[in-house]
Amino acid sequence: MSDFDVVIIGGGPGGYVAALRAAQLGMRTALVERDRVGGLCLNWGCIPSKALLWNAEIVNLVRQGDTWGIVYDNLRLDPARAVDRSRKVVDRMVSGVEFLLQKRGVTLIQGSGKLAGAGVVAVDGQEVRGDAVIIATGARPRSLPGVEVDGEVVLTSREALELRETPQRVVIVGGGPIGCEFAYYWRAYGAEVTILEMLDHLLPLEDADVSAQVERAFKKQGIAFRTGARVAAVERGKGGATVRFSAGGKDEAVEADKVLMGVGFQPNTEDLGLEAAGVETDRGWVRVDAELRTTAPGVYAIGDVTGRLMLAHVASAMGVYVVERLAGLQPPPLEYEKMPRATYCQPQVGSVGLTEAQARERGHDVRVGRFPFRANGKAVATEHTDGMIKVVADAATGEILGVHLVGPDATELLAEATLGLTLESTPRELGWVVHAHPTLSEAVKEAALAVDGEAIHFID
């Protein structure tokens, strides 16, 4: 008999959630983690960054004190205390996960695990056997070819989260979620920020209307950005760096005290014994089928290490899916296009489903409804009127294909849109739902009604 029903390598949001669900289902479960449970997300990603972004929101509210009738003198901002608070938040969350693992009876094994035969995981010389093995080792920030991350001037998000002093000048390479979030945070504390994005828009994977709204908001905030900018080199100099790039057919350069590389991730698949175990990879990412099985019998992979959709909540959903199937349950298939996506700069961005351009490319007869937050009573009352909600629907079937939000609390409002897509709702059904007044969520109802030209509080 194996020691365990399932052995999970990696304790991030994919691995630890899989472990908790497996134990909940009565499975003998081992979780192997070389560092702290929670992975990149809890320790050096989602959680500490959101703590810092909340600090940035408070700072910006204070700066707008005249609007609220608040008068002050000698404002002093201390980013070091914001960082200290973020680390306390991390410790609290990690302790909570450790408590849950203990209470559920999960065996937590500290060390580096690797495949060492059928159903065998070697952990620093110790062998652990499981009927099934789940690889959940995640990914880590990468850099551009030829650009060395030194942790002092050229940073990844990992080092940026510990930066206790606000740099005067920051260049961020990459205008995706990480780049936009750090741009908002540093700008709130007074840094001169420049984003260099290779594609045509900031947040290039979002709907074009959403990206345009974020770009307008960033201009108002004083965040500089260049799109269509390809970085050629980052040259270290005395006390900073020169970032050389090309844009619009011209070679340019910008000086910085700190350079943040926000260009994506690379998989943590080194020293896992994958090749010897028969687990195939594609440029380092573990290959899996629709049921998250690898090419080795009894071995599964979940989360960022698969390269499927690199979001913490997707990793968690993958983990639950695998262990429920191992337990003999029949969970619904994972539909990655219906997974929500969120960016936490201000204005916030949330999206689920197809963009308008993607829907048209797939041949849908598209109908679109939009509702701006400037027409929403709660948004006006709180002076958060930048942004809008956009519903993309199929004209023939009425099915909602995508919902895209940019504005106040967009990441929280996103849940209703995600539920709507999961239940294959139509705009009319969303429009029937009575929303409390005054709330930001009324904008979701109005955007749905706008698909048929029936929005009550806005005329397009």
Residues with active-site annotation? 437
Residue 396 exposure: Cα atoms within 13 Å on the Cβ side: 4
Task: Tell me how far CA of residue 125 lies from CA of 8, 120, 122, 271, 435, in angstroms.
Answer: 17, 12, 6, 14, 58
DSSP states of 117-166? STTEEEETTEEEEEEEEEE---EEE---TT----SSSEE-HHHHTT--S-
Of the chain, the end-to-end C-alpha distance in Å amounts to 67
**How far apart are alpha carbons 61 and 110 in whole angstroms?**
43
With beta carbons less than 8 A apart as the criterion, state whether 136 and 128 touch. Answer: no
Q: Which long-range contacts does 218-224 make (Cβ < 8 Å, 24+ apart)?
A: 218/180, 218/183, 218/184, 221/184, 221/187, 222/187, 222/193, 223/183, 223/184, 223/187, 223/193, 223/195, 224/192, 224/193, 224/194, 224/195
Q: What distance in Å separates the CA atoms of residue 116 and residue 126, rounded to the nearest whole number?
A: 11
Give yes or no for a contact between 296 and 305, defined as CB atoms under 8 angstroms apart: no
Token readout for 104 is: 């559920």
